Structure 1
């Protein structure tokens, strides 16, 4: 498409309205002797358009010497009208169009990578599996556009070529109800068949109304992306999806490692608290119940999920100070003497002292709970 402007003012209006002009052939002299040079400044500085290729033409090269114009203005070529034959004009246009094509290809790659980074950063912020699952494909939809819905499946126990090892880690649209399910148990047979075919052949599968992309990351972790619509991704979009899915695999592994670490910490807390409770003839399940009840009370009081989780981890250690109470006092069958009562009451402060030096949020909270769990409601 050719666009024409017969003055610098017309060119300004046109450039404001059309933001994807590839090549601009500008006269230096229009309304004034340097109207073309002012227009170059307008394009580059005011519009911020550094993509359009600008070719300056002049019939009076003495007024705008080439070496000065090229050095001072962001232009891409400079032509004297007397030398600009039809063939040279054609050559110039072809060369500048190709330069514009290459620049826009780089720009699309840059924008695509920025979208991948933004989408990846978003999913890395989630700490719960269900939140992570719902975020993955929402971000993928923002990345390349998904209308009818999609499934993202992790392959568990690689090497076993059976569909029960496909776990739906994320889903959107009509498939959202399948999250966290095994493929062979819930997914329609046609979807399972396509997933299995792509997995067994280790390659992408394209059908009339859906496609499956197969990915393997640097750790040989395999994943599958099922999209319930016809293939319409460009090569660039495909590479962006591939990069995004690699990041998703890493984030998914990190999420499970973090959850495993949290569960290990909770188990250690229960073992430690259970050891203290065993001395006073309590059962190990007592400390678990205390943690769960404390978490529920925290949630009902309006605390956020992170605070509730910390309380569930910390509350079982409320009686850890009993470790420092003599058995004769701790397990005395009858009532305590005044002196024994005083000793027994020290378990709160003893527990706080045991935990006070830790820098871990859970143990710091546990120290507070140990010290204050026998306080009256009103202090």
Structure 2
């Protein structure tokens, strides 16, 4: 058995600037449960933290006594770290399996982070497009937020699945996107539009 007894462990995620001082603990078990949110430098032995500074490889791992440190970093991405303490003696096969497991976990975590980052970027782009349209309109402030909230309320009343409700809320800032191509003299014309206005 690879892990047994009183195993302590943590997972940590770095900031985009590759500064090792900004690698924060995002999960912990055992003695690391109360360290979540702290910097990794405050939790692991200094000699192992120094190794994070020295290595810039895609994946590396270090087995020291009863401790294990694994780090994964794709080009330009933040570092992701796993650290286990109290895992006992390991055979060469167990160490190899631990490396494979750690590499897969760290790559999966990086993919999740990239997916979340991409979704956040999409939301920001949609919202900025909506604001660009709103800036040309005579609507009062917070129009986009009100439309998003009302869209969500209506979608929930229709008992749509949560994923659909989220998509409707995210897409709602684009409801006036067609206004971008309309000249201001038509967009702000008081009264009814005549056929001649469309030419």
Per the normalisation by structure 2, the TM-score is: 0.65
CA contact (8 A) 1:153 1:224 kept: yes
Structure 2 Cα separation of the partners of residues 299 and 228 of structure 1: 47
For structure 1, which runs of at least 5 residues remain unmatched after alignment? 1-142, 344-379
CA contact (8 A) 2:68 2:84 kept: yes
Spell out the pairing of 1:1-379 with structure 2 (5 A cutoff).
144-145=2-3, 148-156=7-15, 157-158=17-18, 160=19, 162=20, 164-173=21-30, 175-176=32-33, 178-179=35-36, 181-184=38-41, 189=42, 191=44, 193=46, 195-200=48-53, 204=62, 206=64, 211-216=67-72, 223-282=80-139, 285-291=142-148, 294-295=151-152, 304-323=161-180, 327-328=184-185, 330-332=187-189, 336=191, 340=192
Higher relative contact order (CA 8 A, sep 6+): 2
For structure 2, which runs of at least 5 residues remain unmatched after alignment? 56-60
Note closer, same or farther for the CA distance 1:150–1:317 as it changes in structure 2 (3 Å cut).
same
RMSD: 4.0
CA apart distance, 1:256: 2.8
Structure 1 Cα separation of the partners of residues 126 and 64 of structure 2: 51
Q: Which position in structure 1 is the counterpart of 2:58?
A: none
Q: Which has the higher strand share?
A: 2
CA apart distance, 1:169: 4.1
Q: Which has the higher helix share?
A: 1
Per the normalisation by structure 1, the TM-score is: 0.39
Larger radius of gyration: 1
Note closer, same or farther for the CA distance 1:155–1:280 as it changes in structure 2 (3 Å cut).
closer
Note closer, same or farther for the CA distance 1:217–1:258 as it changes in structure 2 (3 Å cut).
closer
